[in-house]
Amino acid sequence: MSNTIHPTALVSDKAQLGKGNVIGAFVVIEDDVILGDNNILLNGVVLKSGSNIGNENKIHEYAVIGGLPQDLSFDAAVSSYVKIGSKNTLREFVSISRASQENKATVLGDENYLMNQVHLGHDCELENNVIIAPGTGLGGFVSVEDKAFISGGVMVHQFVRIGHLAMVGGNAKITQDVLPFMMLDGNPAHVGGLNKVGLRRAGFKVDDIKVLKKAYKLLFNHDSKLEQRLNQLSQLDHVSAQHLLSFIQASKRGFHRNKA
């Protein structure tokens, strides 16, 4: 199946296009872009050099993929990339910066949904099935695990990690790591409990959630030192509790806590 390209689109001869793509009016595809199969690019989309797009993505009006990093120290001669998987939806005015490091990529996995005016800064890495609501910005080097939900108007500090199935409330200010399975809200942000609705929707059983409730109580027991609490957490023989533990142990910025 051939590609359908609007006559006003500007597509570089040096771009690599698969098949079955629909490319709308005034779309710009620069040199060294790789576009897979069966993607839909609506009017005004810009794919900058170094963008590598998988299959069956739908990119809405005026999204810009692969723009220069918003980093004053960045050398424009550096070769870096944006790598996007398959079956993602990027709504209007989404912007994704390419990486700031030589031969590195800003990464978006599969089946993510980024609503209008979401910004992913340079060197971010998002896994799969992440949802981000309108007007949210992620600073450089932010990582987001599978099935996290980030509400609208959230500002995320660079180098922050957001865990699996975490849910961040609207307009929250995120300056530290967001633990997996937790709900977070506020400015300054704080943990409000487990993301029980998200856990159930993800197929967690009653017994799974009971273990995470126990993990939550252990972790936020302010009567003992964190080291003691983590030792108790390590004794919970459950994959989700162990993921929570390893996430904390890998934290470099610390993590948001609940209200004491």
pLDDT digits (tens, 9 = 90+) for 45-94: 999 999 999 999 999 999 999 999 999 999 988 999 999 999 999 999 99
Q: From the candidates 123, 146, 177, 208, give the one annotated as an active-site residue.
A: 123
In a domain, 258, yes or no: no
Report the alpha-carbon distance of residue 198 to residue 210 in Å, rounded: 14
Question: 123 catalytic, yes or no?
Answer: yes
Q: Residue 195: CB partners within 8 Å, gap ≥ 6?
A: 149, 165, 166, 167, 181, 182, 183
Residue 106, domain CATH: 2.160.10.10
Question: 190 catalytic, yes or no?
Answer: no
In a domain, 192, yes or no: no
**Cα dihedral 200/254/81/48 (nearest 10):** 80
Domain identity same for 123 and 23: yes
Number of structural domains found in the chain: 2
Q: From the candidates 60, 85, 110, 122, give the one annotated as an active-site residue.
A: 122
Backbone torsion region of residue 129, taken as left when φ is above 0, otherwise alpha when ψ lies between -120 and 50, otherwise beta: left
Question: 140 catalytic, yes or no?
Answer: yes
Report the alpha-carbon distance of residue 136 to residue 66 in Å, rounded: 18
- List of the chain residues with pLDDT < 50: none
Domain range for 221: 200-249
Q: What is the pTM of this model?
A: 0.96
In a domain, 155, yes or no: no
- What does the chain come to in residues? 260
Instruction: Provide the pLDDT for residue 19.
Output: 98
Stated as kind and residue range, the H or E segment containing 196 is helix 196-201
